[in-house]
């Protein structure tokens, strides 16, 4: 199997999973605006078109079964995190900044996780880039976040991009950089370079090794040095579902 075909196979799994694993249908999502619902419908159309294209590719061998949801992984050093370094639990989110399901999680669930678990020292939250190939602006947005990080504005820029997930063309990224008070010329020079592409590819490889094939996906567990042991969760889950898993794992650590 050549590298191009192998990559396309992974893309196909990612495309299917971004809908099947989102955890909610458009009609079931709570607190979703009409615009958000329309964005998700457009996302599904794009996924369908991508699947149609991939269906014409030759099949080479049996596809491997999906990994178990239990995860033992090596967490790469560096990157961006919030919360106490000594928090008993770590949540790693693999996100695509153009993904409407990632946007839904960010808007509806993340603020409560931050208030109740990150800000209280119970959870350390780690952001990883997992741009999907059928999102034309996702990889550049991932670079933009890292360029903002050079000026200590990663989280502000990340927020600005996720809430505008359908508006991530290059000119818009420059606008968001100005809105979060970045040095725009410095940011633009960074954005137009390729220096962060290898780091983004490492994030993708780490996520793939952990069984991630759609966004948003999460690994939640306890960290011993660079070894993260936990479970993989997938989809734009409601807060109650994430809360239940966090409480379950915190209770296990006490026993």
For the stretch 206-230, pLDDT in tens is 999 999 999 999 999 999 999 999 9
Amino acid 18: pLDDT: 43
CA angle 231, 129, 191 (to 5 degrees): 170
CATH of domain 3-254: 3.40.30.10
pLDDT (tens digit per residue) in 141-167: 999 999 999 999 999 999 999 999 999
Q: Which of 2-6, 143-147, 207-211, 243-247 has the lowest mean pLDDT?
A: 2-6
Provide the residue ranges of all domains of the chain, joining segments of one domain with +: 3-254
| CA proximity to 97, closest of 21, 176, 28 | 176
Residues 123-129: what's their mean pLDDT?
98
pTM equals: 0.76
Q: What percent of the chain has pLDDT over 70?
A: 73
pLDDT confidence band for 38 (50 / 70 / 90): low
Six-digit token string for 221: 């567990």
Residues 82-89: what's their mean pLDDT?
96
Q: Which of 10-19, 68-77, 170-179, 200-209 has the lowest mean pLDDT?
A: 10-19
pLDDT above 60 (res 44): yes
């Amino acid at each position: 199997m050549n590298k191009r075909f192998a990559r396309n196979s992974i893309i196909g799994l990612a495309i299917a999973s971004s809908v099947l694993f989102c955890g909610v249908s458009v009609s079931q999502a709570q607190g979703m605006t009409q615009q958000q619902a329309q964005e998700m419908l457009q996302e599904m159309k794009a996924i369908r078109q991508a699947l149609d294209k991939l269906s014409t590719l030759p099949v080479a061998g049996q596809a491997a079964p999906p990994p178990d949801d239990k995860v033992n992984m090596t967490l790469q050093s560096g990157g961006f995190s919030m919360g106490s370094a000594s928090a008993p639990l770590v949540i790693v989110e693999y996100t695509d900044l153009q993904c409407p399901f990632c946007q839904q999680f960010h808007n509806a669930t993340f603020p409560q996780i931050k208030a109740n678990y990150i800000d209280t020292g119970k959870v350390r939250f780690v952001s990883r880039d997992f741009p999907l190939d059928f999102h034309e602006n996702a990889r550049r947005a991932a670079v933009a976040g890292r360029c903002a990080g050079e000026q200590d504005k990663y989280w502000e820029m990340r927020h600005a991009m996720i809430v505008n997930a359908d508006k991530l063309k290059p000119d818009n990224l420059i606008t968001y950089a100005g809105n979060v008070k970045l040095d725009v010329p410095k940011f633009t020079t960074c954005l137009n370079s390729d220096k962060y592409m290898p780091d983004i590819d490492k994030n993708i490889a780490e996520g793939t090794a952990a069984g991630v094939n759609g966004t948003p996906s999460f690994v939640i567990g306890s960290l011993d040095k660079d070894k993260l042991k936990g479970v993989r969760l997938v989809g734009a889950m409601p807060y109650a579902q994430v809360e239940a898993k966090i409480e379950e794992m915190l209770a296990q650590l006490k026993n």
